[in-house]
Amino acid sequence: MKKLIVIPVILLLIISTALLGCEAEPDNGNGAENGADNGDNGAQVGNGREDGTFSAASEADDRGYVHADVTFEDDEITEVELAEFNDKGIEKGEDYDWDPFHEAMDELPERFKEANDSDIEVYTEATGTSEKAMGAVDKAIQRAEGETGAFDGTFLGTSEQTDDGWGVAWVTLDNEEISEVKLEEVTLTDEEDEEYEFKDDDYQWEEWHEAKEAMPDWFVEENSSEVDVYTDATESSEMWMEAVEDALQKAGREEEAGEGETEDEEEVGEEENGEE
């Protein structure tokens, strides 16, 4: 009788041991797969910053903005190049008459590299430049970490800058939608000294003033840089559309398919209307 009881117990032990061994094998397989996944991520280890150079613009105010090119290697900021632009979109160069500005532009890149972050101390007597530089570097870091959407805020864009002048637009995005637009137009005021100013209330062209007042609402309504040209202010209208598009690009928002009309669509429409 005792022999009959012992045999089933031994069989149960053997079966249990075999089952435990089978359950352990999938765990080992999963562990190997997880290890391979971590290795494949490469640059995504740590802060998840991709190696390479990423560019970004800070938000803009009535004094301009800062552009940053930030280079990353192994999650570290290895190089930072900064450029500041005034409210007309003109880069502040070596002839800019403010010594603390030039000192800050030399010092700030080193502070970003040392901190490996955008959060640094502002440079004395160059607070505005410092804060805009931090904003631009922060957006570049976000791009390196995988951010692909548009940034909310106000961004400054220009049309192509020519000797005769160009358009300027401040475009505000809220939840990636255009919520506000401000327009200006730059004109040459002193050819010898190459001085440029905004056209003001004294500019003698009524349709230009009407276009400047009406078109910001058009951009908001269409949520696009592609809107109708204002009658008798064609050149200014086209410059402002180009400037709005540039501002959207600085925010990281590309025009979606179907926004506005392409030249081909306009030609088709004209043919259908019997126009040549």
Name the residue ranges covered by the structural domains of the chain. Answer: 52-144, 153-255
Beta bridge partners of 77: 72
**CA 35 – CA 160 distance, rounded (Å):** 51
3-state secondary structure of 229: coil
Q: What average pLDDT does the chain have?
A: 83
Which residue is listed with tokens 């105010």? 61
pTM, entire model: 0.77
Would you state the pLDDT for residue 2? 43
Return the minimum-mean-pLDDT range out of 27-41, 99-113, 131-145, 190-204.
27-41
With contact defined as beta carbons under 8 Å apart, do 55 and 142 qualify?
A: no
Q: What is the average per-residue pLDDT within 87-109?
A: 97
With contact defined as beta carbons under 8 Å apart, do 110 and 98 qualify?
A: no
**Range 52-144: architecture per CATH:** Alpha-Beta Complex (3.90)
Q: What is the average per-residue pLDDT within 23-45?
A: 36
Q: What is the average per-residue pLDDT within 117-128?
A: 97
**CA 59 – CA 172 distance, rounded (Å):** 9
Res 47 pLDDT > 80: no
Report the 10 Å Cβ neighbour count for 127: 12
Q: What is the average per-residue pLDDT within 202-218?
A: 97
3-state secondary structure of 139: helix
Res 276 pLDDT > 80: no
**CA 160 – CA 126 distance, rounded (Å):** 29
Res 267 pLDDT > 60: no
If we measure between CA atoms, which residue out of 179, 162, 160 comes closest to residue 240?
A: 160
Structure confidence at residue 10 as a pLDDT band (50, 70, 90): very low
Res 19 pLDDT > 50: no
Amino acid at 243: A
Go through the chain and tell me how many residues it has: 276
Is CATH 3.90.1010.20 correct for 153-255? Answer: yes
pLDDT in tens, 157-175: 999 999 999 999 999 999 9
Fold: same for 52-144 and 153-255: yes
Q: What is the average per-residue pLDDT within 39-44?
A: 35
Would you state the pLDDT for residue 256? 65
Q: Two tokens at 143?
A: 């791009």
Res 184 pLDDT > 90: yes
Spell out where the chain has E strands: 52-57, 65-73, 76-85, 153-158, 165-174, 177-190, 195-198
With contact defined as beta carbons under 8 Å apart, do 196 and 203 qualify?
A: no
Q: What is the average per-residue pLDDT within 206-222?
A: 98
**CA 194 – CA 162 distance, rounded (Å):** 12
Residue 86 has, within 13 A of its CA and on its CB side, a CA count of: 11
Sign of CA dihedral 109, 110, 115, 120: negative
Return the minimum-mean-pLDDT range out of 19-33, 77-91, 207-221, 238-252.
19-33
